[in-house]
Structure formats: C-alpha cells, structure tokens
Amino acid sequence: MGKTLIILVLHSPICYDFNMFVKRILIFFPLLLIFFLAQSFFWVPTYDKQAAGNPERLKKYIHGSAADAEMLNPVISADSTSSSIENLVFDGLISLDDKLEYRPRLATSWTQTEEAFLAVDPRHRIKGIAKSSPVTADWVDYLRQSLEENHKWSANIKSLEVIPGKTVQGTVQVPVPGSDGSPELLNGRPRMESAPYTLQLPDRIKFVLARVDQDFFNPIQKLIGDDYFSSFPYEDFIYAGNPDQRERLKPHFAEILQVTEHNPVIDFDLRRGVRFHDGHEFDSGDVLFTYRSIMDIKTASPRRSDYEPVKSAEALGPHKIRFTYKRLFSPAINSWFMGILPEHLLNAGVLKQEALSQNSDPENFTIRDSQFNRNPIGTGPFKFADWKSDELIRLKRNDDYWEGPPEYQEYIMRIIPDALTQEMEFYAGAVDNYSVQPHQVARFRKEEKYQSFSSLGYFFAYIGYNMRNPLFKSTEVRKALGMAIDVEQIIEYVLYGEGERVTGPYAKMTDWYDQQVKPLPYDPAGALAILNGLGWHKNAEGFLEKDGQVFEFNLITNAGNPIRKNILTIAQNGWLELGIKCNTQIFEWAVFLKDFVNTHNFDAVVLGWSMGIDPDLYQIWHSSQTGKRQLNFVGYENEEADRLIVRIRQEYDKKEQIKMTHQLHQMIARDQPYTFLYVKKATQLLDKKIVIVEPDADGSGEKYAKIYPTRDGGINYYFNKWRKLNFVPQFSEN
C-alpha cells in the first residue's frame, strides 16, 4: 500500500511540474509517516514471540532512552543518561537503601567524628587563672575542671592535647585600590592582587570529639567571655608581607587565623576482595585518586564544589581512608555516592602513554581526553561491552560482582528519540522500559499485561515572585495570589492526575518535608477579600487599583515546556477573575535565564526545582544568595530562616535536622515567596513477567516477588534481582 501511494503521487495528472510534485509530497508526508510507523509496529515481533523464538531475549533488559550518553565517567559527566549507565558500571562508597537511609557499598562502614581547635591568646586574663599564664597546659586543666560538670559536653571529648604554635607563610587575594582609594574595577569587578603574610600561629588546644557538635564551643565561650572571641588581637599574630597591603589584609584576619575551628572527619573502612572489571583489586588508592581527579582544575569536574570543603585526604592503609573537612558541612557525606575510578588505568603515567599513542601533547592531555570515557571500567554489577553512538549502549553481567551477579545477562540502552516510536516499541516488547508520559499512563493501565508504578519524584513546580517589586512585598498579597490558582485543576487536566500538591521547599517523600503543613485553599472570594482589605479595589474597567496604580505585572517562563505554558494560562485566568492584569510571555531558555532570571528583570516566573536528598537549602533560600546570577533570585530575606538554614547544614544529628527543617518549611510556607504548586509523579511501566527473584529461606529454591517502589518512588533498587519470565506468576495478596 505504501508503494502504491507513492506511485499515485508521482503519476497523478495534477502533478504538472516539480513544484507541484513537492506540494503533493508535503501533503501526503504525514500520512506516509503514520503508515510506516504503524507498519513498524506490526513488523516488530511482540515480546511473547521474541521469547518463544529466542529464549536469550529473556536474559536481556532493554531500556528505551530519548537521548544518548555524553561520556561514561562519573567524575566529569553531567547528564542523566550518562549517569544511568554509570550507576550500573561503577560503585560509590555508600548509597541509599529503600528507606532513604545510608547503606554501605565499597565502604563497609564509616564514622563521623570531629577535631575542634581553640587558639590560645596567652595574654588574655581568665578569672579562674590567677595570673595571665603563657602555659597553654594551664588552660587545658582549667577548661577540664570548670566544665566537667557539663556531662553531655565532656562525655563527647575523647581527648585533649596542646598543638604548639608555628610560623606559617601564605597569601590571600585583596582588591587593588584605585586613585580615589576605592577598589579598581576590571570588567565591572574589583581587580585583585596577591597579598603575602606571615602568621605566628599561637598554641592551640585540640579536642577530639566522638561526634560532630556545632555548639561545642558555646560552654567555653560562656566560661572565658564573649570578648575573647569578639576582640581577638589578630594584629599580634598576622604580619603583612607588604606594609602597603596591611589595611586591605585586615578583612581576612579571621580567615587566616581561626580562633575556633571545626574539622569534621569521616573515616571509611573499605570492602576487601572487590575487583575492577579488568581484575585489578580495588583499594584506598583508587578512592584517593578519584578525589584528587575531581579537585584537579584540569579535569574541570562539575562536582568539584561538592569536595571543596575537604581539608585533607589520607589513606590509612589499603582498606581505610580518612577525609578531614575545613568546616561544618553535613551534606558532605552525600558526595561519596560518587563512582570510584581505577587509578591504574587513569594515573598520570597511563595518560601520558595514551597521549603519545594518539600523537597528542602529554602536558595538555587530561582524563577528559581519555578513551576510558567511551570504554569505562568500574566495579559495578555490569561491565561495559560496546557503544554505538545514537543507537545503543550495551553492558554485560559482571559474574564476579562482590554482591553477587545480576539476574540479567545483558543491559541494553536503545536510543529512540521519537516519543511515539518509544511507545510502540514498548507495546511490542522491543523495549522493556522507557520514560512514559503522563497522558500515556491511563492508556497502558487498561492493559492487563503491564504493572505500573506512579510515585512522587524530587521535582516540584512553583510560581516565584520577585520580592524587590513593591507589588509583592506583602505576605498577604502573595498569599492571595496563591489562593486564586486552582492547583487541583492543573494536576487533573495538565498532568492527567500524575501529581500531588506541595507546600514547601523539600522533596515530599523525605523526612525534611513537614506533612502537617496544609496547602493554600483555592478560594478566589477569600483572595479578593484579602486584597480589598489591603486597599485594592476594582476600577471602572474591572481591574484592581490602589492609589492610582493598577495591579498589573508580567508572568514569564521558558519555551519548550508545554506544562509551564498551560500554568501561565491557568494562573492568568485565575488572577483575572480577581481583577489582576497579568501579562504572560515565553522566552527561549538561554534568553530566559540570561536576560530575566539572572538579572532579576522579572515580576513573576513559572519554574521548578529538582531537589536532592539532603536538607541543605543555602543556595536557594539564604539571604546572602540574592545577588545576580545566584539562586535566591526571588530575593527572599528572613533572618530567622537564615539562622535555621546555616544550622541545618552544620547539624550532623538527623533528629535535630528534622526538627529544624520542619520549622523552615513552616516559615517559608507562611511567607509564600513562592506559590508552591505540585510535585509531578514519576511513572514507570513494566511487563508483569518481570519480577524480583529471592532465594527461599532454607536455600532449597527460589521464589518470585512483585516489583515495588522504594520510599522515593524508584523501582530500580532491586534491579540486580530482576528476572524476566516466560509466564506471568500469580502472587498472593497480603
């Protein structure tokens, strides 16, 4: 039929010239495309036929991906497709279990302790010491005796010792003064120069703590006096190498000499007997190498900021490694999800040889240039097999995997950019999984052959208000704006029901999210009453007006996102009912960020955040992050929120963190700098023949279990135990 249709077009008497021929082709092309896609649907053998004709198909898991990977190296890749493959090829030191708690991987265990330091000013008089004593040991005895009744504080101290003072040379960057004394500018920013200094570091008392405590120095501060810290004589210990720079050096004194210092320490015990896919044994050298590769400027790793807080890294033997941090930063533990690289395949000597073999300059040849990125070797459950760009990536089972080999013998990622083709290939069984769209879910749920999983993801959508705009200064105004938007309508008709309301800044399935906070009600009448009470009343044209000013603003978002486009319309209509004149605009993503969001040149935006599993919200909500090109672009400022945000990222006790994150959630929900909209559900579909295989308790056989999502909605936690059967098992209902 397809060939006949083409012949009809070519030989039609209406087709008098080439231009007419092109027009006819353009008319019939959509029909041809649909016809051929339908033909391919029937030509692709179904799952059942594939399994019957080729039992090996049961041993392969095929995932359909819209995009190809960029490079397969966890240190330098930044796209989700690459990450999904890397998670199968590489292991990290730790990961999350099905309840979102940390679990061991290449590390069997770990401890988090602290080394705290107090700089001693020998000239400072303390009431408890009869005379000003230059002997730091007297301070140690005094502190020990005076604070021994504080059992919680003293019980945390494993040891105390005196660290003798020493001379330290260093440099910091200071602004270059202009002719008028103010900083000289270069491209709009202060021009900087190096300022050398000499630090006569005084004696320090070192406390080794059993657990990290951000409040450790509070009892000491009460004992020796607040003035000890507020008026510490830095000038007596820090000397400028260039006298002309001394005044410009002063703002850095507290950075150069820390009177109190928190150094959290993570010790990892590493798993023994683990081998990379080439047979080389894994040890602490590989962990140290991975860290150093990330911190190497030449690597240009997008994850470098995650490891910047590390002060020192030290291998304590082949199966133990220690990381000491510069400051309190509880999210640091999450960075060790990072896949570990094999040092023996990527060290400087190996890279030099690879550069020479490629006739490249060894001095400029980095990990980014290595063929390793297309032929990765890790310790994970699957080994890399081959990669055909824009076609497929193939992995094979690692039979020597330390946790036991996976059930599947092969994992194949097929690159299928077209969403319709993905759906048809899935329906025919040529792929086992793909990123199903919300509008497809309802259709597939009617099919008995599929098991579906819809669960909350880490992403939430919102409308953010530029609080620098006088219109949005009032919390009550922002609350009224939120009450005028029917979020349930968005979830039902835009997301096809695949979403839930959210009320605050954390991922909804985590402990940090306060489930007790209620969403704003959809109440246009109540919203209008709030605005009327604030002096906004409708004018002759039906728009709200106050002191001669019409309530008018622009709501913008980025192009290429139909859901956000629909939100623009729904919000605009909801506000129009109140008498608010809202103009909507859509911009290409790069322009949207560069000309509007990053420069604060907007009134309100429709956007979303993809949240992590840690509770640190410093970059998004702290008032210090409200500058241009920073992430608190709505300009939210709240001193109490700032205090909580800092304490949360410095707190290592999860129970205390939960208390504080709930307080922060309540505070932000009360202030309404965003109208929080929804969290979109992550939807997965699988054939019912795919199950989890578990050994019987007595080891005599095996049993099948339904695949189920973990707390965060993911279904791949037990992927290594998945098996594809040639029948649909029957499960008893519990």
| 248 and 302 fall within a common domain | no
Annotate 173-223 with DSSP letters as a single string. EEEPB-TTSSBPEETTEE-EEEEEEEEEEPPEEEEEESS--TTTTHHHHHH
Task: State the distance between the two ends of the chain, measured CA to CA, in whole angstroms.
Answer: 52
pLDDT at 609 > cutoff 50: yes
CA-nearest of 660, 665, 723, 605 to 215 is 660
CA-nearest of 64, 82, 65 to 73 is 82
Q: Which helix (H) or strand (E) holds 85?
A: helix 80-89
CATH number assigned to the domain comprising residue 291 = 3.90.76.10
| 138 and 248 fall within a common domain | yes
Instruction: Provide the number of structural domains found in the chain.
Output: 5
Q: Which range is most confident: 414-418, 453-457, 478-482?
A: 478-482
pLDDT at 48: 56
Task: Supply 9's token pair.
Answer: 């077009």
**What are phi and psi for residue 244, nearest 5 degrees?**
-65, -20
Domain range for 300 is 94-103+273-353
Could you give the maximum distance between any two Cα atoms of the chain, in Å? 115
| 467 and 600 fall within a common domain | yes
- 482 pLDDT band (50/70/90 cuts)? very high
Counting Cα atoms < 13 Å in the Cβ hemisphere of 172 gives 21
| 209 and 330 fall within a common domain | no
* Rounded Cα distance, 617 and 623, in Å: 11
10 Å CB burial of residue 410 (0-12, 13-18, 19+) is: middle
| 589 and 643 fall within a common domain | yes
pLDDT at 25: 44
Angle, to 10 degrees, between the axis of helix 654-671 and the axis of helix 639-650? 160
pLDDT at 50: 54
Residues in Cβ contact with 714 at an 8 Å cutoff, skipping those fewer than 6 apart = 455, 682
Strand 185-186 to strand 60-65: parallel, antiparallel, or no bridges (unpaired)?
Answer: unpaired
| Burial 329-345, CB ≥16 within 10 A → b, else e | bbbbbbbbbbbbbbbbb
pLDDT at 15 > cutoff 50: no
pLDDT at 441 > cutoff 50: yes
pLDDT at 11 > cutoff 50: no
At 34, the amino acid letter reads I
Q: Is residue 359 part of a domain?
A: no
- Given a contact cutoff of 8 angstroms between Cβ atoms, the answer to whether 376 and 383 are in contact is no
**What are phi and psi for residue 10, nearest 5 degrees?**
-70, -35
Q: Is residue 360 part of a domain?
A: no
| 99 and 117 fall within a common domain | no
Distance of CA 476 to the CA centre of its chain: 32
pLDDT at 44: 46
pLDDT, tens only, 78-103: 888 999 999 999 999 999 999 989 99
| 393 and 517 fall within a common domain | no
Q: Is residue 358 part of a domain?
A: no
At 140, the amino acid letter reads V
Q: Is residue 364 part of a domain?
A: no
Q: Which helix (H) or strand (E) holds 34?
A: helix 18-43
The angle at the Cα of 121, spanning 118 to 124, to the nearest 5 degrees, equals 120
Lowest-confidence region among 166-170, 297-301, 598-602, 694-698: 694-698
| Domain end among 214, 242, 264 | 264
Strand 674-687 to strand 450-465: parallel, antiparallel, or no bridges (unpaired)?
Answer: antiparallel
- Given a contact cutoff of 8 angstroms between Cβ atoms, the answer to whether 436 and 454 are in contact is no
pLDDT, tens only, 214-254: 999 999 998 888 889 999 999 999 999 999 999 999 999 99
Q: Is residue 367 part of a domain?
A: no
- Given a contact cutoff of 8 angstroms between Cβ atoms, the answer to whether 691 and 722 are in contact is yes
Task: Supply 212's token pair.
Answer: 């990290």
- 142 pLDDT band (50/70/90 cuts)? confident
- 53 pLDDT band (50/70/90 cuts)? low
pLDDT at 7 > cutoff 50: no
pLDDT, tens only, 262-310: 999 999 999 999 999 999 999 999 999 999 999 999 999 999 999 999 9
pLDDT at 40: 44
| Burial 64-99, CB ≥16 within 10 A → b, else e | bbeebbebbbbbbbeeebbebbbbbbbbbbbbbeee
| 397 and 491 fall within a common domain | no
Q: Is residue 68 part of a domain?
A: yes
Helix (H, G, I), strand (E, B) or coil at 710: coil
pLDDT higher at 132 or 529: 529
10 Å CB burial of residue 560 (0-12, 13-18, 19+) is: exposed
Helix (H, G, I), strand (E, B) or coil at 284: helix
Q: Which helix (H) or strand (E) holds 583?
A: strand 581-587
Residue position matching structure tokens 């302790």: 113
- Given a contact cutoff of 8 angstroms between Cβ atoms, the answer to whether 345 and 375 are in contact is no
Q: Is residue 183 part of a domain?
A: no
| 670 and 644 fall within a common domain | yes
CATH number assigned to the domain comprising residue 392 = 3.40.190.10
Q: How far is CA 581 from CA 487, 496, 606, in A?
A: 20, 29, 17
| 403 and 300 fall within a common domain | no
Task: Supply 372's token pair.
Answer: 């390793």
pLDDT at 434: 85
CA-nearest of 408, 391, 496, 405 to 445 is 496
Task: Supply 508's token pair.
Answer: 């909804």
pLDDT, tens only, 549-559: 999 999 999 99
**What are phi and psi for residue 393, nearest 5 degrees?**
-125, 130
The angle at the Cα of 645, spanning 643 to 648, to the nearest 5 degrees, equals 105
Average of per-residue pLDDT values in the chain: 89
Predicted TM-score (pTM) above 0.95: no
Residue position matching structure tokens 């020493």: 166
| 195 and 333 fall within a common domain | no
CATH number assigned to the domain comprising residue 665 = 3.10.105.10
| Domain end among 264, 290, 307 | 264
Q: Is residue 734 part of a domain?
A: no
pLDDT, tens only, 330-382: 999 999 999 999 999 999 999 999 999 999 999 999 999 999 999 999 999 99
| 494 and 530 fall within a common domain | yes
**What are phi and psi for residue 500, nearest 5 degrees?**
-140, 155
Mean of the pLDDT values across residues 663-692? 93
Number of CB atoms found within 10 A of residue 149's CB: 8
Q: How far is CA 691 from CA 289, 430, 704, 730, in A?
A: 38, 18, 6, 11
Q: Which helix (H) or strand (E) holds 385?
A: strand 382-388
